[in-house]
Structure 1
């Protein structure tokens, strides 16, 4: 008997898999947008981007398989499914116009961050100061405690060698209040470090008209979250958290849910005990000076505890954390002097950085670069007062950050007020070559030299440290 062959199959051939969506990111060389690029690429998305200037960071993205174009051009949106752009990009920009004409979805950066935060367990870190360091510490502590966090950070975290970490979760993200859409984001846990008046005033797209408007956005963000962990030591935060469904606090203050006690500062950092509602969780240490870094570390240990991480392992991981790029970054030495670079650029951050420098026990010598004409106009008396505890301050010209000059607003406002208040070691020093020459001639092992500001002052720290450079670029 002969077998009859089966009839030919009439089933349709399987459809070929759809190609991954193509996302194009404008300003991909920025510290935040580049982190988005890395997280999207890890999800299998095809990623490209462009920036006005190429840099070491964009070159690294290229080595990771992400196409980066120099400059901006309407041709970049050809074949793109989604264009990611900051709210600061004018709506008339040729790339945005071309995207709209081609039917390409234009998505703000905050909408992308919202998507990532809502995808699973998430932690959103907000506040005027300390976001980058606190976000980094949370991710490092969680990883040390055996969790597998994903992270989005506005700085390079040495432990990851990147501003992003790919993990199964929780997702830990720095949320920038300079983007006016941040208040509508939703996360599981909001960490609220502080609230001041930064990014307020002027006509920039990333600035708020009033501090009340900005703080109302903080309150909305907290109200959308499943719970908030806020700093009990910062006046006014509890009131901004009134709409939260669950409120927890951290700080040095008596009554905080998570509290740091028995602080023992030394030249390299601070050891302290962590309590949870009066129960001792254990001993911890942060290897960065300054009380503000104790608070940042305490927040990270509290969050890790909330997500079930083992305290001892988390504390051990934090004890060796050296900070993200440009946050009390140890660059090297000059004639035995310690050379530090710090991003501090408003009065509260400057005061914290000076306090951290004092904790080293060395003579504190600061090279300060005011940032933006508007910020200097708004806060030069506070900046001057914040620098008064330094032994010596060399004030550079204002870093414009693309702002036009404002008549009468000059770096000498800062140096002049300090001199008027009796500071004998301050001077306006616009000649950078002279600053480097002077410090090379006068630096001693008893000094700590801190380059301070959000502009390009970091370059001087590398020039001063020379062959002893210990960290990477800004």
Structure 2
């Protein structure tokens, strides 16, 4: 159930590749459901007990209420109802595995690990929370290792076991009061961070970002094999001699002071240097050719909606990015500044509770853009919170001295404004986890 979601569709593809007969249903048709049907997976639109005929196991998204009639019917029929994290646990345990965790950067880093390993002559299987253009999918069926993005919004993730845990960062996303929002899963940041500690503590080895403050404090298991990556001087895998350009960054890769080779990431921003370095480190840990892995990454443009190059408008570059918390938004702005162009951000805040918790930080993260256009909050199924809207961000930015901030709730006004003021030296970045991406495609004349 929920097979049209980015996670469940990846599970469906992996299971079918392993020889299982897979079917599914979703409330609405989508590009993903159409792709699955074209790949030979039986997808029904809507929900009905008849979908359960011949089914041994029902895998349901956490977004589906456990009192849903289809789940109730499955239990009455004696069909096992299995949550997605139980399935992830089986996949991770089936062989050598890499689990990528953190509050941001997981999709990009997981994609890069899979691409780097493949380029290095390994045959990874992959589960990614986004479409990887190199594979044309959010999943890759390979002999292994199995590389998986682990969703920290699901409280069950802390119990998972993998061979290698890649620990990117630990922020305070997906935190809220249970019952106040169907989208929030952790009552306190301490609970979420305890789950991070449990996850990495159960891995055979850990690779963590030395540049992120405090990550080493999560590593408490005696005798565990641990190594680090980053630009920090004491990182085991280190990126040095960074050479940024408008399209990305070249750098040298050291392993405990030994030069492994030269690399380049075709996506701007220090965070993408760190993500690529993590991918090269994992490839090295699994015996892959780091030079070949670096060549594969040099031509990798990122997964869909992660610094995705949409097109152009009268010479201006149009980028789309999924960033939706303050750290991600700040990274997107920093990446845009690396282009040397006038930075114009169209930002759509995501979820009312997240905005309530972080609007000052969101405002601060946008201050280095030359112009910011704010849309209304994308609710993502949440109820509105009185007094919480995009004007909070706009007001703080104006109070801090920014004079290029505009609140434009009407998308037609946004399109008219950008088309009427575009310059060839602009970079226009649509930012957010909602439907803000449609604006970039409309500007570039790309169908959607």
Calculate the TM-score normalised by the size of structure 2.
0.98
Instruction: Please say if 1:193 is aligned against 2:176.
Output: no
Instruction: Please say if 1:364 is aligned against 2:357.
Output: no
- Corresponding residue of 1:62: 37
3-state SS of paired residue (1:181): helix
Q: CA deviation at 1:445?
A: 1.2
- Corresponding residue of 2:314: 335
3-state SS of paired residue (2:165): strand
C-alpha distance in 2 between matches for 1:213 and 1:28: 29
437-446 vs 196-205, greater mean Cα deviation:
196-205
2:92 corresponds, among 109, 113, 117, to 117
3-state SS of paired residue (2:43): strand
Instruction: Please say if 1:234 is aligned against 2:209.
Output: no
3-state SS of paired residue (1:46): coil
- Counting only pairs closer than 5 Å after superposition, residues 56-455 of structure 1 correspond to structure 2 as 56-203=31-178, 204=182, 207-243=185-221, 245-455=224-434
75-84 vs 148-157, greater mean Cα deviation:
75-84
161-170 vs 241-250, greater mean Cα deviation:
241-250
**5+ long unaligned stretches in structure 1:** 1-25
Q: How many residues align?
A: 444
- Corresponding residue of 1:44: 19
3-state SS of paired residue (1:419): helix
- Corresponding residue of 1:459: 438
**5+ long unaligned stretches in structure 2:** none
| Contact 2:176/2:184, CA 8 A, preserved across alignment | no
Q: CA deviation at 1:401?
A: 0.3
C-alpha distance in 1 between matches for 2:3 and 2:63: 14
Q: CA deviation at 1:89?
A: 2.4
| Contact 1:88/1:206, CA 8 A, preserved across alignment | no
Deviations, residues 139-172 of structure 1 (Å, cap 9, x unaligned):
0000000000000000000100000001000110
Coordinate RMSD, CA, aligned: 1.1
3-state SS of paired residue (1:260): strand
Q: CA deviation at 1:85?
A: 1.1
| Contact 2:350/2:380, CA 8 A, preserved across alignment | yes
Q: CA deviation at 1:206?
A: 5.0
- Runs ≥4 in structure 1, deviation > 3 angstroms? none
Q: CA deviation at 1:207?
A: 1.2
Deviations, residues 172-214 of structure 1 (Å, cap 9, x unaligned):
0000001110011111000000001000113237510100000
